[in-house]
Structure 1
């Protein structure tokens, strides 16, 4: 019997993951059955179970890949960021990250990849393995954004008397909130985020109403 090549094994695993991701994106983790995955991939149950023992393993694999894709997209985008207006950087990073990952995931509608990310976040509450993966990716993204924030602080474009990590966590909270809005309300777009950030970041004491 001819030996199956590693390239063939990798391609088959990729086929299963891509099919499972499409199912999860359409119907959610818990409304998707293994039978749905078999039908989506066109593979037998035996072929799928050779790679994944069940739906929980598929969820973990899809979630881990989604984390990695988002981390790569953020790191790639922030490398191009130095000293462009920060509102453009943040909005651009999110737009590029979500649009590129939606394309890679084969998402069928706007906001679908954001929905998958929100599902993944919720799944970490019941999966210790996923929680570890999320925390690892989160720490790496904090380091990436920390370098960007320090660059802006040293250039006098951000206040240097605020701890760098406080700024980083706030920027990441904005990013996470934007992803939730994109998933839940569908109408959130990068231009809206860019305009809102610009207004907040250019506010001066004279713009603020007097205290009651």
Structure 2
């Protein structure tokens, strides 16, 4: 019988933790539950993740890292991708992660934000990981500006922040109303971008 790799066991534990967090919330998730859902022994689980905080960090790194990688790829795309189309691609990726990983990633994000309001350590973990997404959006905005898809005077920090802020809005609308899609959300942003802000 082939030996189960360390990487496979770590992924098995992480999958169990993410499923629990998405349905029960981070604050209710316990290491004992992770052990039970993973199907591994307590010794095996603690051999990979010594605490709930380590699991939270790994969850954030897995989910956030894939979004940041998607944005980085868009920044280098040929032909260049307009901002609203880039947003749509990232939202499609967000929903695709749910199918790929087998649990509701938007629900997991909401649970993470909720836990961050009560647990400073979780807030620090999420903040550190989300900085990767913020930087990726900023770099994307700079690239599309340099390629003529934004005004030459565009503040790329402000544009990057605005694009990043569209993700939580989409997640909340999707969770509460269920009638928003990546296309409809991005189309609204595209319409807004056609109207210059008043000064």
TM-score of the alignment, normalized to the shorter chain, above 0.5: yes
Over 3 Å counting, the alpha-carbon distance change for 1:82 and 1:164 in structure 2 is: farther
Matched, 1:167 2:163: no
**Which aligned pairs between 1:33-112 and structure 2 lie closer than 5 A?**
33-80=30-77, 82-96=79-93, 98-107=94-103, 112=104
What is the CA-CA distance between 1:190 and the residue it aligns to? 0.6
Does structure 1 retain, via aligned residues, the 8 Å contact 2:49–2:55?
yes
CA distance in 1, matches of 2:33, 2:120: 26
By how many angstroms is 1:114 displaced?
A: 0.8
Distance (whole Å) between structure 1 residues aligned to residue 196 and residue 61 of structure 2 = 42
TM-superposed deviation, 1:43: 1.8
- Conserved? CA contact 2:75–2:81, under 8 Å: no
Determine the C-alpha separation between the residues in 1 that align with 2:110 and 2:73: 22
Query: Could you say which residue in structure 2 is the equivalent of 1:177?
Result: 169
Whether the 8 Å CA contact 2:81–2:144 is kept in 1: the answer is no
Give 1:102 deviation, angstroms.
1.5
2:71, 2:86 within 8 Å by CA — same for their partners in 1? no
Go from structure 1 to structure 2 and tell me whether the alpha carbon gap of 1:90 and 1:167 turns closer, same or farther (over 3 Å shift).
same
- The DSSP-based 3-state class of the residue aligned with 2:56 is helix
Going from structure 1 to structure 2, the CA distance change for 1:136 and 1:27 (only over 3 Å counts) comes to closer
Q: CA separation in 1, counterparts of 2:186 and 2:49?
A: 41
Structure 1 outlier segments of 4+, above 6 Å: none
Corresponding residue SS for 2:149:
coil
Provide closer, same or farther for how the CA distance between residues 36 and 81 of structure 1 changes in structure 2, counting only shifts above 3 A. Answer: farther
Partners of 1:67 and 1:100 in 2: how far apart? Answer: 13
Aligned partners of 1:154, 1:61: CA distance in 2, in Å? 35
Tell me what 1:122 maps to. Answer: 114
Whichever of the two has the greater Rg, that structure is 1
Q: Calculate the aligned-residue CA RMSD, in Å.
A: 2.9
* Distance (Å, rounded) in 2 between the aligned partners of 1:89 and 1:180: 19
Gaps of 5+ in 1: none
Q: What TM-score, normalized by structure 1, do the two folds share?
A: 0.75
* TM score, norm. by length of structure 2: 0.79
